[in-house]
Amino acid sequence: MEHEIYVYLFIMSAVTLAIRILPLTLIRKQIKNRFLRSFLYYVPYVTLAVMTFPAILDATRTPAAGGLALVFGIALAWWGASLFKVAASCCIVVFLTEMVLC
């Protein structure tokens, strides 16, 4: 029972290394497939969105405050506001919404 942690660590490190090493060793030429290139281009953005958006809704006391701040932040960013202004405004929206709702 005590030594199972080492098995878990070994498997975890083997999988992590395989994910990083195998593409470098198996794919030597430039990828020319347009679909695959466009898919790989958007993977970081999708991963960031998948991790961020649920956290926005779950970080507040009420999901309505997080959702309202999300919509407000998207609107501000669409109109060209800086990252600091968007973040500060979203914090203010969450604060005011939770004062009203709670």
pLDDT in tens, 6-16: 899 999 999 99
Residue-level pLDDT at 75: 96
* CA pair distance 34, 67, nearest whole angstrom: 35
Tell me the whole-structure pTM to 2 decimals.
0.60
DSSP string for residues in the chain? -TTHHHHHHHHHHHHHHHHHHHHHHH--SPP--HHHHHHHHHHHHHHHHHHHHHHHHHSSSSHHHHHHHHHHHHHHHHTT--HHHHHHHHHHHHHHHHHHH-
So what's the pLDDT on residue 12?
Answer: 94
pLDDT at residue 35 in the model:
92
Flag residues of the chain having pLDDT under 50.
none
